Amino acid sequence: MSGEEFVPLSLTPMLIGVLAAVACALPGNFLVLRKQALIGDAISHVVLPGIVVAFLITGLVAAAPMMLGAAAAALVSVVMIEAIRRLGNIEPGAAMGLTFTTLFAAGVLLLEQSDTSSVHLDVEHALYGNLESLIWLDAIGWSSLLDPLALMGLPPELGRVVIALIGVVGFLWLFWRPLVLSTFDESFAQAMGIATNRLGVALVMVAALAAVAAFDAVGSIIVIAMFICPPAAARLMTNRLEHQVAWSVVFAVLSAVFGYIFAGYGPLWLGFDNAVSAAGMIATVSGLILMLAACCAPHRHRSGAPVA
Amino acid sequence: MNLELAANMGATPKADIPAESPLAIRGMTVSYGQKPVVFSVDMTVAESSMTAIIGPNGAGKSTLLKAALGIVSPLAGQTLVFGKPLKAARHRIAYVPQRASVDWDFPTRVIDVVLMGLYRELGLLRRIRPQHMEKARACLERVGMTDFADRQIGQLSGGQQQRVFLARALAQEADLYLLDEPFAGVDAATEKAIIDVLKSLRSEGKTVVAVHHDLTTVRSYFDRVFLINTRKVAEGTVEEAFTPEMLNQTYGGRLATGQIDQLELAAG
């Protein structure tokens, strides 16, 4: 494909897919190790009622109120999960399940009952996003990357995903040591004076930031898949956390790139004349990578004693 | 009666806490739900001593340590470490949690776990320098685990895991060592290695407190005991407090007379 065609039509969606995948996979490493991976699922579901409520209040389909609504909903869900877990004295997985199904159902209900269907706010969009539509019409080829005027026309989702990724990387870089310590041995970390509870909430909020930015661009399917699949596959490749994080980035990038290509061209290669959802295909590729890792990766056997 | 109120009434005034004690606990009360696990417990640890915390299962031994360290929040009670509030003295404490409390499948190496003991020194972003690696390796050598530095922690036996935990505590270069069941499920060689290290710590003037299960080794390992069954039963030197009457009181008659006779014999 030539630059004239690739840059305006495929470069930005692919880039947004890659950045969103990496932004979710990075905190996913810690969520998976803390057995909190489902919290990504919870966040990506509760974002829906947040967006609907933001629309109902403001009447705008603008990015700012939607992002704020989504972030607020993510915060509410984190508080709800903690409250249910502590007050009900039940395991975190159950509290997450309770929270996200309820809030997602509330979101769907709101969506059905309100007038939002006319303004391109629908369940399908929420699930799959619309990666293919994030095109860069101002671009005429590779040279546009150096053209300030054309760069102004980049889809705004790109900027938001970049900001989210910077936030995620900055948080992990700054708090790497206490995060590792409290993930591996919480009581030792507490005895050292590390505020493990606050750190845990901060991790979830950073994951929520990534989820909300990614949700905006690519829908919740990718968010859920990227929190879990690349880190889980990466865990099977190595026995060192630093390497695991690096592998998870590699897998996230591979999923996004190949998922996007397969979605656009896969059906053509197979003789069909349509394309399939890029978000769905990216999630599928990440699942295939996890399957391959589970079959063939070098460190797929538990070496420690099974955890009760 | 309200549990918190009761605990506060039982608390001793602050005045009688000896400032020089490495660990002084007053009126410590912890409950999980409605059930008190530790009730109004006072403890005064003597400097450069080795104290065994002894009591039946569920007597609140581990909980007492965790409450003293602020890992679980007590309903009432206060802790002074070398005469200072916990917050001001955390750097003088090394804690060894129960081995079974962590997931040993965590993707990390032995040496990385020992380096975790240097967290206070390294902080958030300081680089790990050769002198830090040297210190970590020296701690591994002290527990006889030098050859395992680059192993993934899941590949270790239970005893080796316990030694790595002890090495991490050594890296903290603390003055007070609190260990939760350091001998649980370890092999004889490890038990010997651990007790040797603990005794050498004591001879360096450090203070050791360990939750301990095996009554037959109390006399040979420790110089002081603290008997607990939700409430404190006795505290003192092994001669004073590790007596059949006190043990009976602690275990509520659950120790067979044969066991107590054996202990007497060991003492004999």
Flag whether A235 is in a domain. no
* Predicted confidence (pLDDT) per residue in A139-184, tens digit: 887 888 888 888 888 888 888 899 999 999 999 999 999 999 999 9
Chain B residues whose beta carbon lies within 8 Å of the beta carbon of residue A188: 95, 97, 116, 168
pLDDT at B12: 46
| Chain B: closest CA distance from residue A173 (Å) | 8
A40 or A302: whose pLDDT is higher? A40
Q: Indicate if the pLDDT at residue A40 is higher than 80.
A: no
- Interface with B, mutate which of A174, A176, A184 (most B CBs under 10 A): A184
Flag whether A299 is in a domain. no
Q: Record the tokens describing residue A134, joined without a space.
A: 């994030």
Q: Which of B242, B162, B244 is nearest to B195 (CA)?
A: B162
**In which band, very low, low, confident or very high, does the pLDDT at A67 lie, cut at 50, 70 and 90?**
confident
Q: What SS3 state is found at A252? A: helix
* Predicted confidence (pLDDT) per residue in A116-137, tens digit: 555 555 555 666 667 877 888 7
Flag whether A156 is in a domain. yes
* CB-count exposure of residue A33 (10 Å: 0-12, 13-18, 19+): buried
The minimal CB distance from A185 to the residues B102, B120, B152 is found for: B102
DSSP B126: P
Flag whether A263 is in a domain. no
> Is the separation of the CB atoms in B109 and B164 below 8 Å?
no
pLDDT at A157: 84
Q: What domain range includes position A96? A: 3-217
Chain A residues whose beta carbon lies within 8 Å of the beta carbon of residue B33: 89
- Cβ pair A181:B104 closer than 8 A: no
- Cβ pair B71:A304 closer than 8 A: no
pLDDT at A224: 86
- Cβ pair B116:A181 closer than 8 A: yes
CATH number of the domain bearing residue A40: 1.10.3470.10
Q: Indicate if the pLDDT at residue A186 is higher than 90.
A: yes
Give the chain A residue nearest B91 (alpha carbons). A192
Chain B residues whose beta carbon lies within 8 Å of the beta carbon of residue A174: 124-125
CA atoms within 13 A on the CB side of A253: 6
- Cβ pair B109:A240 closer than 8 A: yes
Chain A residues whose beta carbon lies within 8 Å of the beta carbon of residue B69: 190-191
> Is the separation of the CB atoms in B264 and B244 below 8 Å?
yes
What is the tally of structural domains in chain A? 1
Residue carrying the six token digits 């590792």: A180
Which stretches of chain A are DSSP H helices?
A: 3-6, 12-33, 38-58, 63-88, 92-113, 123-128, 148-152, 156-174, 176-184, 186-191, 196-218, 220-235, 241-269, 278-296
Q: Indicate if the pLDDT at residue A3 is higher than 60.
A: yes
Give the chain A residue nearest B100 (alpha carbons). A307
The minimal CB distance from A187 to the residues B101, B124, B153 is found for: B101
Give the chain B residue nearest A232 (alpha carbons). B107
Between CA A26 and CA A43 the distance in angstroms is: 16
pLDDT at A305: 47
Chain B residues whose beta carbon lies within 8 Å of the beta carbon of residue A303: 104-105, 152, 154-155
Flag whether A135 is in a domain. yes
Flag whether A40 is in a domain. yes
The minimal CB distance from B105 to the residues A89, A177, A303 is found for: A303
Largest CA distance in chain A: 62
Between CA A82 and CA A96 the distance in angstroms is: 9
Flag whether A146 is in a domain. yes
Spell out the per-residue pLDDT of chain B, length 268, in tens: 455 544 444 444 444 566 689 999 999 999 987 889 999 999 999 999 999 999 998 899 999 999 999 999 999 999 999 999 999 999 999 999 999 999 999 999 999 999 999 999 998 988 999 999 999 999 999 999 999 999 999 899 999 999 999 999 999 999 999 999 999 989 999 999 999 999 999 999 999 999 998 999 999 999 999 999 999 999 999 999 999 889 999 988 766 666 666 666 555 4
Chain A residues whose beta carbon lies within 8 Å of the beta carbon of residue B109: 239-240
CA distances from B158 to A54, A240, B106 (A): 54, 20, 15
| Chain A: closest CA distance from residue B203 (Å) | 25
Mean pLDDT value across residues A53-82: 80
In chain A, what is the straight-line distance between the N-terminal and C-terminal CA atoms, in Å? 53
Q: What is the DSSP string of B9-51?
A: HHPPPGGG--TT-SEEEEEEEEEETTEEEEEEEEEEEPTT-EE
Between CA A169 and CA A188 the distance in angstroms is: 25
Neighbours of A141 (CB within 10 A): 15
| Chain B: closest CA distance from residue A214 (Å) | 28
Chain B residues whose beta carbon lies within 8 Å of the beta carbon of residue A194: 119
pLDDT at A122: 57
* Predicted confidence (pLDDT) per residue in A24-34, tens digit: 999 999 999 99
B266 or A47: whose pLDDT is higher? A47
| Chain B: closest CA distance from residue A30 (Å) | 11
Which stretches of B123-255 are DSSP H helices?
A: 130-142, 158-171, 188-203, 218-221, 238-241, 244-251
Chain A residues whose beta carbon lies within 8 Å of the beta carbon of residue B95: 187-188, 191
Chain B residues whose beta carbon lies within 8 Å of the beta carbon of residue A33: 106-107
* Angle at the Cα of B13 from the Cα atoms of B11 and B15, rounded to 5 degrees: 145
Between CA A26 and CA A206 the distance in angstroms is: 10
The minimal CB distance from B152 to the residues A89, A184, A303 is found for: A303
Give the chain B residue nearest A239 (alpha carbons). B107
**Residue B129: what are its φ and ψ, rounded to 5°?**
-105, 170
Flag whether A100 is in a domain. yes
Give the chain B residue nearest A245 (alpha carbons). B107
Neighbours of A306 (CB within 10 A): 7
